[in-house]
Amino acid sequence: GQNIDQPTEMTATEGAIVQINCTYQTSGFNGLFWYQQHAGEAPTFLSYNVLDGLEEKGRFSSFLSRSKGYSYLLLKELQMKDSASYLCAVRDGSNYQLIWGAGTKLIIKP
Amino acid sequence: EPEVTQTPSHQVTQMGQEVILRCVPISNHLYFYWYRQILGQKVEFLVSFYNNEISEKSEIFDDQFSVERPDGSNFTLKIRSTKLEDSAMYFCASSEAWQGARGNTIYFGEGSWLTVV
């Protein structure tokens, strides 16, 4: 079956670094997305990985290992505005639908 | 920056009534989508639309749902006879391309919150 696993909630301190993990089991693979979603708002795009390795974009980086079915989102120099849910989504290679994880709620404390 | 716009932002409707949610995708995008998110739950794919027809749909998208692109800019989702369990945030999204292209990001609208009473 199709499954994406992320921790439900994480807490981190302002200025620190946090890593949010995502593991997936899908029938195919054609890319992995990370989205940020503030409560009551639309998801906004953060990163896209289709090849193994690290993609860096400012304070955010995303890593992918296709052989392990694993990705992480790394957030550096955390700010209070980073408090949000972080959604991992995998594009299924067989039908190209996006399969979504339940999201990780990140709480930033001063 | 171009954005996907949706109306209404919030609609309350009685069970059994028809609802139409409207979306204006980003103008140069070719692929359109509807997703929904029940409060506190994960985002769920409903349907994708390309070249004036449905390209894929999920099990959720049953005969009660339909989509239409009535003109060159709007993309609508119709729910014929709403049920209590249809209460959710409905997100419209669009993208330039569908398959494989690096960075073919799906851009979401702000959502339409539907409450069925």
Tens of pLDDT, residues B26-61? 988 888 999 999 988 888 989 999 889 998 898 999
Percent of chain A residues past pLDDT 70, beyond the cut? 96
The upper half-sphere exposure of residue B104, i.e. CA atoms within 13 Å in the direction of its Cβ, equals 19
Chain A residues whose beta carbon lies within 8 Å of the beta carbon of residue B43: 43, 87, 89, 100
B15 three-state secondary structure: coil
From the list B45, B89, B105, which residue is nearest A45 (CB)? B105
Chain A contact residues (CB < 8 Å to B) = 30-31, 33, 40-45, 48, 50, 87, 89, 95-103
Number of CB pairs, chain A paired with chain B, less than 8 A apart = 47
With CB atoms and an 8 Å threshold, state whether B108 touches A98.
Answer: no
B45 and A CB contact within 8 Å:
yes
Question: One-letter amino acid identity for A48?
Answer: Y
Q: Report pLDDT digits (tens) over B54-103.
A: 988 989 999 999 999 988 789 999 999 999 999 999 999 998 876 434 55
Listed residue (A39, A22, A23, A48) closest to A105, CA to CA? A39
Burial label, B11 (beta-carbon count in 10 A; 0-12, 13-18, 19+):
middle
**Rounded distance between C-alpha atoms, residue A7 and residue B12, angstroms:** 33
pLDDT confidence of residue B105: 78
B1 and A CB contact within 8 Å:
no
- Which pair of structure tokens corresponds to residue A61? 């980086």
Chain A residues whose beta carbon lies within 8 Å of the beta carbon of residue B58: 97
Closest CA–CA distance from residue A29 to any residue of chain B (Å): 10
Q: Considering only A44-53, A86-95, B1-10, B30-39, which range has the smallest mean pLDDT?
A: A86-95
- Which pair of structure tokens corresponds to residue A10? 């994480």
Question: Closest residue of B to A94, CA-based?
Answer: B99
Please provide the size of chain B in residues. Answer: 117
Residue range B21-27: average pLDDT?
95
Question: Closest residue of A to B99, CA-based?
Answer: A96
B42 and A CB contact within 8 Å:
yes
Phi, psi of A64 (to 5 degrees): -135, 135
